[in-house]
Structure 1
Amino acid sequence: MDTVEPTTTRTDTRTRTRPGRIGGRSFLIIRGTGVLLAVLALGHFAVTHLVNDVAQTDATFIARRWSSALWVVWDGLLLVTALAHVGTASVAVVRDYWTDPAGQRRMLAALRGLLLVLLVIGAVTLLFAAG
């Protein structure tokens, strides 16, 4: 019986923009921020929804809470950790699945710009509303 060889071969056209240890570091950052996010988000949820009555949560409650340095730092860590987690995971997805190097660079630049805008908005909110 004759075997039929494929007439075309698949070539991988994807290129890595930064070969090396970026995958391992990304893996650790995503896992580490995920664990930290679980603690921070569950603590935030517990204080906002379980310890206090949800009906009592208003601007006065937030102002009282943000008058404490603990909660300003807590919410700041929550913001930075969430953005680091989402940003690192999004960069990994773009690098893994976006095959066009120029398009990949544009998408990563747009992603970094969006993350920076979100960080600035969150930081301004925390600093001026809490201050």
Structure 2
Amino acid sequence: MPDQDTARVRTARSGTYLTIRATGVLLAVLALGHFGVTHIVNDVAATDSSFVARRWSSALWVVWDALLLAMALLHVGAAMGAVVRDHCPGRGARRAVLAGMRVLIAALFVLGALTLVVAAG
């Protein structure tokens, strides 16, 4: 049995490692694009709610911001999961913390997605 547990942990760690790295690369592109359009291409003083409304009238920017939200939450969820798996003693406590984190991340995603959908209308 210990060999199966060790293999399962190793597989989970490699999946987590790849998830953190892949989402990190995507976040770099998405966040820099967001920053560039919001703060460099456009005048910062003109960045107000009407700017966001105009931007979200385009499906491209709604998808861009939804991907940014999803990748950020996936990135932080994978990283926090790795920390919990490494440092939380006891299997039951670890499962409870991971379940709570999943609920929190799902709630944050739903809240962000609802904001995008309602605002983009």
Per-residue CA distance 1:63-85 (angstroms, 9 max, x = gap)? 00000000000000000000000
Identity %: 59
Measure, in 1, the Cα distance between the counterparts of 2:15 and 2:93.
Answer: 23
Alignment RMSD: 1.3
Correspondence 1:121 to 2:111: yes
Per-residue CA distance 1:63-111 (angstroms, 9 max, x = gap)? 0000000000000000000000000111111001111211111111110
Q: TM-score, normalised by structure 1?
A: 0.85
Max Rg structure:
1
Measure, in 2, the Cα distance between the counterparts of 1:82 and 1:99.
Answer: 27
What amino acid is the match of 1:19? V
Q: Which runs of 5+ in 2 are unaligned?
A: none
Measure, in 2, the Cα distance between the counterparts of 1:60 and 1:19.
Answer: 48
Q: Which runs of 5+ in 1 are unaligned?
A: 1-14
Per-residue CA distance 1:109-130 (angstroms, 9 max, x = gap)? 1101110110000000001110
- Number of aligned positions between the proteins: 116
**Equivalent position to 1:109, from 89, 99, 103:** 99
Give the CA deviation at 1:20: 4.0
What amino acid is the match of 2:16? S
Match of 1:26?
16
Alignment of 1:25-104 (within 5 A): 25-104=15-94
Measure, in 1, the Cα distance between the counterparts of 2:19 and 2:116.
Answer: 24
Q: Which runs of at least 4 in structure 1 moved beyond 2 Å after TM superposition?
A: none
User: Would you tell me which structure has more helix in proportion to its own residues?
Assistant: 2
Measure, in 1, the Cα distance between the counterparts of 2:28 and 2:88.
Answer: 29
